[in-house]
Amino acid sequence: MTLLAQYTTLGLGGPARTLITAASDDAVIDAVRVADTAADPVLILGGGSNLVIADDGFPGTAVHVDTRGISYARGTARAGIVEVTVAAGENWDDVVAATIAEGLAGLECLSGIPGRAGATPIQNVGAYGQEVADAITSVRALDRRTGEITLLTSADCQFSYRDSMFKRASGRYLVLAVTLALPDEKLSRPVRYAELAATLGVETGDRVPCADAREAVLAIRGRKGMVVSPDDPDSRSAGSFFTNPVVDAAQIARVEAIAEGRGLGAVPRFDAGDGHFKLPAAWLIERSGFAKGYGTPGGARVSAKHTLALVNGGAATTQTLLALAREIVAGVRQAFGVTLEPEPILVGVAL
């Protein structure tokens, strides 16, 4: 019996009733179509970096997507742009490294994000001012409702902050490949985050060689335990467990009044458009009483490097991890009146 824990970066999750590893699009499609025809629940597995799976496992067919392939098309898009098509099963950080080696910009700040390429449009992964939605032109997918292969444009994907049509469509689409439009340039996009600029020794708005930006991002993520490594126990996580909440002007005013009353200083915030603001979840968590390392040392705990990550210390279960997550959500709500939402996909469990 193979535990799904072996397919997740958290190292948590019970067995699937059926587990299939598929190394080609045809094998992936066939496995899903057979399960769908039999009305069998389907769980799509990639790198398992954004999954929290029940201790009881999954009562259906788990399909591990292990397809490979990266292709480059020059001269088919607008001038100075290269179209890069990536198989869903490609390791995402390998894709970033490959495009930079090819002399292309646009993904450098997405270095070190764990998981497979097929998951990136679902979550609209982002970091340090870049989102994969900025680069995606189309996604090839199996529409499980119609049984047809479809090509979805970026507009079809309805991207928003850490969200997309794929995430909201409850498993209707199986991503097979992603096509990205990347500038044929060796300089990064303008650096937007002060932390990254400081690491690079430049000003925000400056551009640097993409390889330098990548190394700086990897260094920052490494310090926070956000680069998966067997040598770093803090990387046994699902990455950021909570999204940064987006609040309106009235909510930000309440948070600022609470912070002032408690002597917490200025509340960090980022403009999210339309009169809304994005608050750093890590700031809220820390100031609600959950310090780095909070929890059971060998069980479920907050990362010792970054309060946004919840870690399996080696003896955690999914239930103990979720109990910690619920405690944090309740604490932040009580302290600031803001409700945190989980970023990982929860399978067979709820927060």
- From the list 98, 105, 86, 76, the residue with the least C-alpha distance to 183 is 105
β-pairing verdict for 136-143 and 16-22: unpaired
The pTM (predicted TM-score) of the whole model is: 0.89
- pLDDT for res 79: 80
Question: Which residues lie closer than 8 Å to 42 by C-beta, 6 or more apart?
Answer: 32, 35, 36, 60, 61, 62, 63, 171
pLDDT score of 199: 96
> What is the C-alpha separation between 12 and 34, in angstroms, rounded?
27
pLDDT of residue 4: 97
How far is the C-alpha of 239 from the C-alpha of 227, rounded, in Å? Answer: 9
Task: Check residue 75 and give its pLDDT.
Answer: 74
Tokens coding 1 = 């019996």
Q: Which residues pair with 12 in a beta bridge?
A: none
Residue 97: its pLDDT value, please?
98
Query: Look-up: residue for tokens 């439009």?
Result: 181
If the chain, 351 residues long, is cut into consecutive pieces of 10 residues, what is the mean pLDDT of each piece? 91 96 97 95 93 97 97 82 97 98 97 95 93 97 95 96 89 96 95 94 96 97 88 90 94 95 93 90 97 95 95 96 98 97 94 91
Query: What integer pLDDT is reported at residue 329 of this predicted model?
Result: 98
What is the pLDDT, as a whole number, of residue 77?
63
Determine the pLDDT at residue 323: 97
- Point out the residues that are catalytic: 162, 240, 343
SS3 label, residue 301:
strand
Q: How far apart are CA 152 and CA 73, in angstroms?
A: 18
